[in-house]
Amino acid sequence: MSTRSAAPQAVSAWPDLSHLRPSDLPQERRVVGPVPGPASQALAERRARSVAAGVASTLPVYVARAGGGVIVDVDGNSFVDLASGIAVTSVGNAAPGVVDAVAAQAADFTHTCFMVAPYEEYVAVCEALARLTPGDHAKRTVLVNSGAEAVENAVKVARRATGRDAVVVLDHAYHGRTNLTMAMTAKAMPYKTGFGPFAGEVYRVPASYPLREPVPITGEQAAARAVAVLEKQVGADQVACVVVEPVLGEGGFVVPAPGFLPALERWCREHGVLLVADEVQTGFARTGAMFACDHEGVVPDLVAMAKGIAGGLPLGAVTGRAELMDAVHLGGLGGTFGGNPLACAAALAAVEAYERDDLAAAARRIEELVTSRLRDVATRARQVGEVRGRGAMLAIELVRPGTLEPDPAEAARVARACAQEGVLVLTCGTYGNVVRLLPPLVIGEDLLRDGLDVLERALLGLPVPV
Ligand SMILES: *Cc1c(COP(=O)(O)O)cnc(C)c1O
């Protein structure tokens, strides 16, 4: 028997999360024919005659099953899932615990409307969110159906609680597709073009985007720049809330310079302005902490959540300081489907997985593997401008070699090449030039390595052996 001292950079073992994957679904990449195959092509024809043309899809195939780290299409192709339905199925698709909880709840009752006849599951989700969200102050929660609705409700609460109108958002922000959240979203095409007029009293200030600063600045300096704009153009005493994504999502998986969020938090406190964290994409272990604000000890007044909250069922939430949330008059918050019992049962099962299986640690393990791999590829793929992200929210920004000029065509080419070889990756970014990775946190190590092999070859423009 030999003993060895642990290497200083020793990486933790890959966690065994097989109990969160459907046991009868092989965790493998498999391309059995053309992508899309004949069954998917037939569905595409039906779709063209019935589905609104404005609805886009990344993959050209139609799904038959999904679970763990794979999506299987109607022709039998099995894709490595590096998207999680946009950071939703972090606990895995059709995770057994979620499936059982939803089935049991569906057999008991499917809907009563919490505003009509309340039920325990809604209350239990609010209790869980009080425990999980940053800060140990007294909290209250309202449940809704989507991320956009969560952001809208956070703004409603902020305006009612402060008596002020102005909402401050960041450049590159994405907050949703409803009228108010379109106004809050930065990018015109495809989210806003032709859909105005937009809601008023929304003001945009510069974000922290380290790669694209003309001169490197600290997070504190970036915050001071944002504050200078809003003090001059809005006035601190007019501002109800500053809404931030702690890692910019659709805007390009941009991690702000350290100190940016804490400095904004301090400024908000000093001026009676509420800090709203839009953790719709970053929440629920995705970034390697339960919430991305936790990385810098930032405690928002209100947190908007959705995506990863319920294992794939539609649910959104706003959790905030009790005195702010309770400033809203009786009946001022709600909605027919908000906190649907099936979604609540799913959320309780998902929360159990996040906590029991420490999926934040799984996200950090994914970060180690993916970033070391992509940083290595970046030394050979000259179009890689930056590898960045947090936890299992990772991205590569693609540029024309030797410049910072965005190359959206290259991002689209890489995503298409991956899809052809059985790997699903998404793109994002204000300039459309970012390839982003959002694997389910329960993905197996071998499958993830295989997916990264395909991505590497796509970046290097090499053929992929099937
Ligand atoms: C996806 C997203 C939203 C909108 O959520 P929907 O459920 O699509 O309405 C809002 N904010 C952020 C940061 C998001 O990533």
- Ligand 1 centroid – CA 308 distance (Å): 11
CA–CA separation, 145 vs 161, rounded Å? Answer: 22
**Closest ligand 1 atom, residue 86 Cα:** 1
CA–CA separation, 73 vs 35, rounded Å? Answer: 10
Average pLDDT over residues 85-89: 98
pLDDT grade for 11, boundaries at 50, 70 and 90: low
Among 184, 280, 393, residue to substitute to test ligand 1 (most atoms within 8 Å of Cβ): 280
CA angle 212, 300, 354 (to 5 degrees): 90
Examine the pLDDT at 8 and tell me if it is beyond 80.
no
Closest residue by Cα to atom 15, ligand 1, is 281
**Closest ligand 1 atom, residue 245 Cα:** 13
**Closest ligand 1 atom, residue 250 Cα:** 15
Superfamily (CATH) of domain 18-94+358-460: Aspartate Aminotransferase, domain 1 (3.90.1150.10)
**Closest ligand 1 atom, residue 278 Cα:** 13
Q: What is the mean pLDDT of the chain?
A: 96
Nearest to 439 by CA among 383, 394, 406: 394
CA–CA separation, 441 vs 435, rounded Å? Answer: 18
pLDDT grade for 465, boundaries at 50, 70 and 90: low
Per domain, the residue ranges of the chain are 18-94+358-460, 109-356
- Ligand 1 centroid – CA 207 distance (Å): 18
HSE, CB side, 13 Å, CA atoms: give it for residue 296.
21
Average pLDDT over residues 323-332: 98
Examine the pLDDT at 73 and tell me if it is beyond 50.
yes
pLDDT grade for 95, boundaries at 50, 70 and 90: very high
pLDDT at 449: 98
pLDDT grade for 2, boundaries at 50, 70 and 90: very low
Average pLDDT over residues 312-337: 98
Average pLDDT over residues 187-203: 97
Q: How many CB atoms lie within 10 A of CB 223?
A: 25
Which residues are registered as beta bridge partners of 170?
205
pLDDT per residue over 388-442, tens digit each? 999 999 999 999 999 999 999 999 999 999 999 999 999 999 999 999 999 999 9
Edge-to-edge, what's the strand order for the sheet holding 426-428? 384-390, 393-398, 434-437, 426-428
Place of tokens 């994405």: 174
CA–CA separation, 124 vs 348, rounded Å? Answer: 8
Closest residue by Cα to atom 5, ligand 1, is 147
CA–CA separation, 191 vs 405, rounded Å? Answer: 23
pLDDT at 342: 98
- Ligand 1 centroid – CA 175 distance (Å): 5
Among 151, 153, 185, 248, residue to substitute to test ligand 1 (most atoms within 8 Å of Cβ): 151
CATH of domain 109-356: 3.40.640.10
Average pLDDT over residues 231-246: 98
Structure tokens of 158? 């902020």
Question: Which residues form the pocket of ligand 1, taking CB atoms under 6 Å from any ligand atom?
Answer: 146-148, 151, 174-176, 245, 249-250, 278, 280-281, 306-307
Examine the pLDDT at 352 and tell me if it is beyond 50.
yes
pLDDT at 9: 47
Which residues are registered as beta bridge partners of 140?
320
HSE, CB side, 13 Å, CA atoms: give it for residue 322.
7
pLDDT at 466: 52
% of the chain at pLDDT higher than 90:
96
pLDDT at 108: 98
Phi-psi region of 209 (alpha: psi -120 to 50; beta: other; left: phi over 0): beta
